[in-house]
Amino acid sequence: MTESLNTSDALPENPAVIAPERDLMSKFDGLIAERQKLLDSGVTDPFAIVMEQVKSPTEAVIAGRDTILLGTYNYMGMTFDPDVIQAGKDALDEFGSGTNGSRMLNGTFRDHMEVEEALREFYGTTGAIVFSTGYMANLGMISTLAGKGEYVILDADSHASIYDGCQQGNAEIVRFRHNSVEDLDKRLGRLPPEPGKLVVLEGVYSMLGDIAPLKEMVAVAKKHGCMVLSDEAHSMGFYGPNGRGVYEAQGCEDDVDFIVGTFSKSVGTVGGFCVSNHPKFEAIRLACRPYIFTASLPPSVVATAATSIRKLRHAHNKRQHLWENARTLHGGLKQMGFRLGTETPDSAIIAVILEDQEQAVAMWQALLEGGLYVNMARPPATPAGTYLLRCSLCAEHTPEQIQRVLGMFQAAGRAVGVLA
Q: Per residue in 157-213, pLDDT tens?
A: 999 999 999 999 999 999 999 999 999 999 999 999 999 999 999 999 999 999 999
Residues 276-304 have pLDDT tens digits of: 999 999 999 999 999 999 999 999 999 99
The percent of residues in the chain predicted with pLDDT above 70, rounded, is 95
Q: Which of the residue ranges 37-46, 59-68, 292-301, 384-393 would you say has the lowest mean pLDDT?
A: 37-46
* Contact partners, residue 188, CB within 8 Å, separation at least 6: 153, 197, 199, 220, 221, 223, 224, 226
Q: Is the pLDDT of residue 230 over 70?
A: yes
Mean pLDDT of 94-104: 95
Q: Is the pLDDT of residue 263 over 50?
A: yes
Residues 126-168 have pLDDT tens digits of: 999 999 999 999 999 999 999 999 999 999 999 999 999 999 9
User: Nearest Cα to 110, choosing from 136, 137, 90, 83?
Assistant: 90
pLDDT confidence of 410, banded at 50, 70, 90?
Answer: very high
User: Nearest Cα to 326, choosing from 361, 291, 301, 351?
Assistant: 351
Spatial separation of the C-alpha atoms in residues 134 and 136, rounded to whole Å: 5
pLDDT of residue 311: 98
Contact 245, 320 (CB under 8 A): no
Q: Which residue has the higher pLDDT, 51 or 39?
A: 51
Q: Is the pLDDT of residue 251 over 80?
A: yes
Sign of the dihedral defined by the CA atoms of residues 368, 371, 372, 375, in that order: positive
pLDDT of residue 301: 98
pLDDT of residue 16: 58
pLDDT of residue 1: 44
Catalytic residues: 206, 234, 265
Q: Is the pLDDT of residue 5 over 60?
A: no
| 53 CB burial (10 A radius; 0-12, 13-18, 19+) | exposed
pLDDT of residue 8: 47
Mean pLDDT of 4-17: 53
Q: Which of the residue ranges 19-33, 52-66, 80-94, 228-242 would you say has the lowest mean pLDDT?
A: 19-33
User: Nearest Cα to 347, choosing from 57, 75, 59?
Assistant: 75
pLDDT confidence of 225, banded at 50, 70, 90?
Answer: very high
Q: Is the pLDDT of residue 2 over 50?
A: no
Q: Are strands 151-155 and 197-202 parallel, antiparallel or unpaired?
A: parallel
